[in-house]
Amino acid sequence: MRRTVLIATAIIAFVLLGVGSASGATVSCGQTITESTTVDNDLANCPSYGLIIGADDITLDLNGHTIDGVSFDGFISSLVGIDGHGHSGLTVENGTVQEFDLAVLLTGGNNVLRDVTATGGESAGVFLGFADHNRIDHVRASGAFSWAIYLADSTDNTITDSSTFGNDGDIGIGYGSDRNVIERSSLANGGIRINSNGNLVTKSSLSGGPDAGIGVFPGALDNVIEKSSVSGFSLGIGAAGTTRLEDNEVFDNRGDGFRVDTSGVVLVKNRAHGNRGDGIDVLAAGATVTKNTANANGDLGIEAVAGTIDGGGNKASGNGNPAQCTGVSCK
């Protein structure tokens, strides 16, 4: 995360003052918007802030324009492109925010961020801090952010139909960020990390990257990953805590397809194929494995420790290890 949390905390604590802006206005760097506004111009080389939102229940329509910060030899010196901290009921839409440490910062509730591209930044493309019931819709984040989208102490948010690529991390769901949904999104390179409870990843695709495609950490409870595909990582999905993995396809990863690290993990109707290690590697007694299929993996289809709960209906064939499965029965 590098500077993400420190910078976001400092920004949240700082009270920003400014003047209002009229609808359809020509805006300037660092200006505070206090009424619904359609932007009529690009902003270039903003030294600190792009635009600051200073009121609840307003719409900031970038109208296809770009809010640009300052980058010198790859170092980002500008702080925040769109700063909506402390306000609720906002809609920010339809434009590009580039070369800021945080492209978009939201800390209130019931905000909508849609059709926005965040690129060329550093800490986060979108940062939600103490932000509940927000919707991130058709957002694109790229270009070496520590996190394309990061949630800190933020609950009941939805990330939908969004895409990320070229970042260190795609989506980070930090501590205290419960019951969030990631759906129908395409993520490349960085992966998803989940450190909280009751989150759902559904109907999404993840591809390529140096680490795990999806990682659920110990102590994270009641998370669900379903109907998603993961390929091209060192590890497809690493699951701990109490996680349910259902109807996912994990393939062509450089190590195992699935790795299970705690007893509270349940795998049902997943497919693992073409991974260089095991298709499914269960390292914790008490995990449940039911109706999964593992074919053409480099080692075992399913490798499970003693004490794994065999729910039946597992299948494995064409894997590199002729045993096909250990610890559970496979057809």
Please tell me the distance from the alpha carbon of residue 293 to that of residue 127, in angstroms, as a whole number: 38
Q: What pLDDT is recorded for position 5? A: 44
pLDDT of residue 9: 44
Kindly report the average pLDDT of the chain as a whole number.
93
Query: Average pLDDT, stretch 211-240?
Result: 98
Q: Where are the beta strands (DSSP E) in 170-265?
A: 171-173, 181-183, 186-188, 192-194, 200-202, 205-207, 212-216, 221-226, 229-231, 235-239, 242-246, 249-251, 258-260
Binned at pLDDT 50, 70 and 90, residue 74 comes out as confident
Q: What is residue 73's predicted lDDT score, i.e. its pLDDT?
A: 74
Q: Beta-carbon neighbour count of residue 288 at 10 Å?
A: 18
1-190: CATH class: mainly beta
Q: What is the pLDDT of residues 28-43, one digit of tens each?
A: 999 999 999 999 999 9
- Segment 76-116, tens digit of pLDDT: 999 999 999 999 999 999 999 999 999 999 999 999 999 99
pLDDT at residue 144 in the model: 82
pLDDT of residue 16: 35
Per-residue pLDDT tens over the stretch 234-261: 999 999 999 999 999 999 999 999 999 9
Among 134, 102, 120, residue whose Cα is nearest residue 6: 102
Query: 2 pLDDT exceeds 70?
Result: no
Question: So what's the pLDDT on residue 205?
Answer: 98
Nearest CA among 184, 194, 95 for reference residue 104: 95
DSSP alpha helix (H) spans, the chain = 4-13
Give start-end residues of each CATH 2.160.20 domain in the chain: 1-190
For the stretch 117-167, pLDDT in tens is 999 999 999 999 999 999 999 999 998 899 999 999 999 999 999 999 999
- Tell me: pLDDT of 191 over 90: yes
Asked if 50 contacts 43 with a C-beta cutoff of 8 angstroms, the reply is yes
